Amino acid sequence: MLIKISSIRIPEIFYRKPPRQVKIEEYMQYFNEHGCFQKPATITQRGLLTDGFINYLLACEMGMDSVECTINTEVVSRRFGKNKRIHNKDYKRRALYISQGGLCACCGKQLHLDPDGDKATYMTLDHIFPLSRGGISSMENLQGVCRKCNEEKGNQIDDDIIEYAMRTAFA
């Protein structure tokens, strides 16, 4: 299904982790050869992008006013089906897992979501701007990291996180 570019919303995390140039070139090459993207982007019923950020970027760059998307009903039902579940930690962990490609946001290690699996590679939720310093539990302030990175980070804040917090606070 074709979705208007203007009705797609991009989570902050995609901008924080821009795709590598070589990836973008791969997508571009496929598009030039086939006239379409290899697979459609994925959005929730409310238009929030969960996969296919490169499709979106290239479509914008090429001046297209719409791009092919599929609706991610699984995440939608968890996220929006019942209001009570909006703050569900498992949903957030899963959404972050998807948007980060399953990798730790700090060290890049491959992680998993199985609570009974290996503890060292289980994806934990980390507040980018720590709760103890006034950070909130919105998706924009969360990242999925491995246990080791989460423990090492503790409550410290580095300069680019302060810059990020300032930017989003006044956006």
- Chain contacts with Zn ion (rule: CB under 5 A): 104, 106-107, 109, 146, 149
CB of 87 to Zn ion, least distance (A): 24
Angle between helices 21-34 and 53-61 (to 10 degrees): 70
95 versus 104: smaller Cβ distance to Zn ion: 104
Q: Closest approach of Cβ 160 to Zn ion, in Å? A: 17
Closer to Zn ion by Cβ: residue 80 or 147: 147
Please state the closest distance from residue 15 (CB atom) to Zn ion, in A: 21
Question: In the bound complex, what is the minimum distance in angstroms from residue 123's beta carbon to Zn ion?
Answer: 9
Per the CB < 8 A criterion, the answer to whether 53 and 10 are in contact is yes
Nearer to Zn ion, 72 or 143 (CB): 143
Which lies closer to Zn ion via its Cβ, residue 107 or residue 166? 107
